[in-house]
Amino acid sequence: MARSVGSVVLTDLAPVSDLLNAPSRKLTWLTIIKASVAVAVAWEIASTLPGDDAPLFAPIVALMTVQTSLYGTFAQGFQTVAGNIIGVALATVLVNVVGRTGVALFVATFVGLALSKRLPIGSGARGQVTFSMILVIALGPTSGYGTSRLIDCAIGGAVGILLALLVPERAQVEPVHTAIESWTGGLRVSLREIAAGLADAGGGQIPAGTQHPFVDRTLTRLRTSDENLTSAVAAAYESIHFNPRARRQRARVQQLADVLPWFRRLSLQTEAVALGVDALYDRSYHQPRLDRHELSRLLSAAAELVPDGSAELARTSGENLRVSLTRTLGAATEHQAVVGVLDSVSLIGRLDHLVVELTDPEVVPLVMGGDL
């Protein structure tokens, strides 16, 4: 069943490969402690098995199994165990047939990489197939690394999963707040940079094929903010699955996720304004109808309207700014043919839409001060 998180449609459990390979996953101190305990416990348990004097796979699998979220632990644990069991089983057969030779290592590496490439699991678990094959062959069956290593893998995975169940971690909500603060700050800075670029009338003409410096900075800043918030929302959504400590956080996570499409609309309008100003001003082939200093003032005023969720919306300020936008547009289009002022109409229209998105309580998400 599909589930919507902001404008991102997720399944009830996010794709495992995306989960395991996500660069945003960060270790917490609790995760570090749990991983350390899991490694030690897995070793002690596996060491008690008859004839198992060096149960290396048990602590390795335990280490890889423990993740920040319960869902991540389940996914990583099952896949890591599966990857190691596949590798150990294949290598045990290979070393008994070919022996411990360079040819055996070549075949093990080739087969391990080729097979893992086709397995529908995360890259970390896929790598365990090849790693376990090489380790079994390098150490050889005489060192005890034969079929009994399958039990070691199961012990490591079970210990990691059990520990995660006994000590679940908090929902990862704070990174979402941090990403939201970064995005609101990026919007303010971007609008102010565009305004500053307009206020600086002494820069001379910009040749065709060259952009104002604020364009690339605005596009990069806002698109990076989009990626960071999307990743943080996905991590928060993942962290509440199977987590008894996160039952009260589910509604909060959904509210935070609702901020994502709103921010994307704000970014789209801001990027469009940046590109419009870049195309019209300081170009020898354009004569904009809008006074650059007046437009700069309006953009600076819009930057002050970006809410941060800690105060009431500046609704009155937004209404006053919209009145100023209407007056500015009227002055720019007075006695002018429609075709000649389309550029001005477009810029004012986008800025007006931006002001509405920033100040209308029916549009602004609840966590940012809206009343939805």
Residue 351 lies in a domain: yes
**Pair (270, 302) in one structural domain:** yes
Q: 310 or 23, which is more confident? A: 310
- Give the whole-angstrom CA distance, residue 356 versus residue 364: 9
Among 166, 197, 225, the domain-final residue is: 166
333 and 193 housed in the same domain:
yes
pLDDT of residue 349: 82
Residue 15 lies in a domain: no
Clarify whether residues 282 and 361 are in a common domain. Answer: yes
The mean pLDDT value of the chain amounts to 78
Which of 103, 133, 166 marks a domain boundary?
166
Q: Does 336 have pLDDT greater than 70?
A: no
Range of the domain at 311: 174-368
Decide: 318 and 307 in contact? Cβ < 8 Å.
no
Judge if 301 and 232 occupy the same domain: yes
- Total structural domains within the chain: 2
Q: How far apart are CA 149 and CA 42, in angstroms?
A: 13
Pick from 305, 313, 177: which is nearest to 236 by CA?
Answer: 177
What is the model's pLDDT at position 111?
A: 83
151 and 274 inside one domain: no
126 contacts 117 by C-beta, under 8 angstroms: yes
Per-residue DSSP letter, 285: T
146 backbone dihedrals φ, ψ, rounded to 5°? -125, -135
Asked if the structure places residue 323 within a domain, the reply is: yes
Alpha helices in 123-173 (DSSP H): 123-139, 149-166
* Same structural domain, 100 and 184: no
Bridge partners (DSSP) of residue 3 are: 10
**Burial class of residue 150 (count of CB atoms within 10 Å of its CB; 0-12, 13-18, 19+):** middle
Q: If you count them, how many residues does the chain have?
A: 372
User: What CATH number is attached to the domain comprising 340?
Assistant: 1.20.120
Residues 215, 160: one domain? no
Q: What is the pLDDT of residue 103?
A: 83
Please give the average per-residue pLDDT across 247-258, as a whole number: 83
pLDDT of residue 68: 82
pLDDT level of residue 251 (50, 70, 90 thresholds): confident
Q: What is residue 316's three-state secondary structure? A: helix
Is residue 20 in some structural domain?
no
Selected residue with higher pLDDT from 344 and 199? 199
Residue 66 sits in the same domain as residue 200: no
Q: Are residues 149 and 185 in the same domain?
A: no
Give the separation between CA 130 and CA 83, rounded to whole angstroms: 9
Q: Please indicate, yes or no, whether residues 95 and 78 belong to a single structural domain of this protein.
A: yes
194-223 confidence digits (pLDDT tens):
999 988 865 577 887 888 899 999 999 999
Residue 310 has pLDDT above 80, yes or no: no
Per the model's pLDDT, the better-predicted residue between 251 and 179 turns out to be 179
Domain end among 145, 166, 187: 166
Are 140 and 232 members of one domain?
no
Residue of 99 and 193 predicted with greater confidence:
193
The residue ranking higher by pLDDT, 200 or 331, is: 200
